[in-house]
Structure formats: structure tokens, C-alpha cells
Chain A
Amino acid sequence: GENVEQHPSTLSVQEGDSAVIKCTYSDSASNYFPWYKQELGKGPQLIIDIRSNVGEKKDQRIAVTLNKTAKHFSLHITETQPEDSAVYFCAAGTSGTYKYIFGTGTRLKVLA
């Protein structure tokens, strides 16, 4: 079946360094790619999303890139801060269905 692979599963970085999380999807029909941040005991929160008609999107310290040909998309967090520590999930969806396939999650730890 369709799936989304996410790597790495855990990531530790020093405060101020950058963090990159990568996802690969299999469904060619996917055209919407959100990223969620989940803190312990809470629901996921949307942090950024990208559609297949653009290759990159940036929002302050967070950016997402998409390579539709390779079916890869990545989350980039620059100047990481301790409050960025959380689990991050990528997802792939198709317009109009609202339904996603989620990646397996990346536990990011920012060391002060």
C-alpha cells in the first residue's frame, strides 16, 4: 500500500544548529504535504505545509522543500532552540480528500 517513510527517527542537535528531517512518499497522486509538531501529551500542531506546485516554502526559521520527481520532501529548522524539542510528523495528502498518510515521526532534541 501507499506509505510515507521518515528519517531519522531521532535527532539530537546543539542549540543554534540546524535540523533536517526527510520524508519520502509513494503515492503519485499526493499533492499536499503538511508538517506537524507534537509535544508530549498534546495533539499535533501544523507548523508548515507545501503544495506540489511549489518547490520551497519558508516561514521564519522553518522551511520545507519538495522534490516532486523524486517524491522527497524535507523540513529544515534553522537556529534551533530548546523549545523546538518535540516529535515532528510529515504527511502526504491529496487535495479534496483531507486524508493523509503520516510518516513515523522524528523525535528532535535540542541540547542547550
Chain B
Amino acid sequence: GAVVSQHPSRVICKSGTSVKIECRSLDFQATTMFWYRQFPKKSLMLMATSNEGSKATYEQGVEKDKFLINHASLTLSTLTVTSAHPEDSSFYICSAAGTSGTDTQYFGPGTRLTVL
């Protein structure tokens, strides 16, 4: 149980384009989803927290107009990187939480974004 998927697993795009990443909780309803960014050999950097049906809460220094987050249902959240630039290239990971009686975040497999 508690499986989280992400799509796509890898994406290469040209500078200036937008990219959408989907995060789905497959076997539970996620009241809260998180989006992280991870640089090589570094820890997880929280970008934003989203609750179903509400606006996302962004961490300090994360541009909300650049990283659009939508949590339209209890099983789906999306992250859209708008007008991507090479410095946005990174490993993006989502997690989902909300299974009854636990405080656990379950992570997706991550999306490797490369912006040319």
C-alpha cells in the first residue's frame, strides 16, 4: 500500500517552454502533497505544500509564479515549471500524506528535468 507515482520520469525541454509533472497517490487519498527539489548529492529541499482544494504554500525563496502547483483532487497534484531555464534543471520529487492514522509522507520516484 501507499504507492505514489510520478509522470514523466524524465523530461528534456527547450529553454522558455513549460513542463508539467504529475504526482498521483495510487491507493490512498492524499490530503497533503509536497513538492521537493533535489540537487546532486544534496538533501531534499521543500518547495511547497499543497492541500486538496487550497492554494499551495510556498517556501521562502520559491517563486510561485514560476512553479505552479495544483492539487485538484485527493489523488493528484501537478507541478508546472513555467518558462523553464537551464538553472531549473533538477530532480523533482513529490510526496503524499494523509493515510488514516499515520504522519508518513510517501514519496514518488522523482522526475529528472533537463532544460537545454
Contacts from A to B (Cβ < 8 Å): 32, 34, 36, 41-46, 49, 89, 93, 95-100, 102-105, 107
Contacts and interface: CB of A to CB of B under 8 A. Distances in A.
Q: Is the interface of B mostly helix, strand, loop or mixed?
A: strand
Given A46-B104, A93-B103, A95-B103, A102 B110 contact: no
B4 to A, nearest CB: 8
Given A103-B43, A104-B43, A41 B112 contact: yes
B110 A43 contact: yes
12 contacts: A34-B104, A43-B108, A89-B44, A93-B103, A97-B103, A98-B34, A98-B97, A98-B98, A99-B49, A100-B105, A102-B44, A107-B41
Contacts of A102: 43-44
A43 B104 CA distance: 15
Contacts of A97: 103
Contacts of B112: 41
A41 B110 contact: yes
B109 interface: yes
A102 B109 CA distance: 18
Task: Indicate the member of A44, A95, A104 with the most B CB atoms within 10 Å.
Answer: A44
Nearest to A100: B105
Nearest to A91: B105
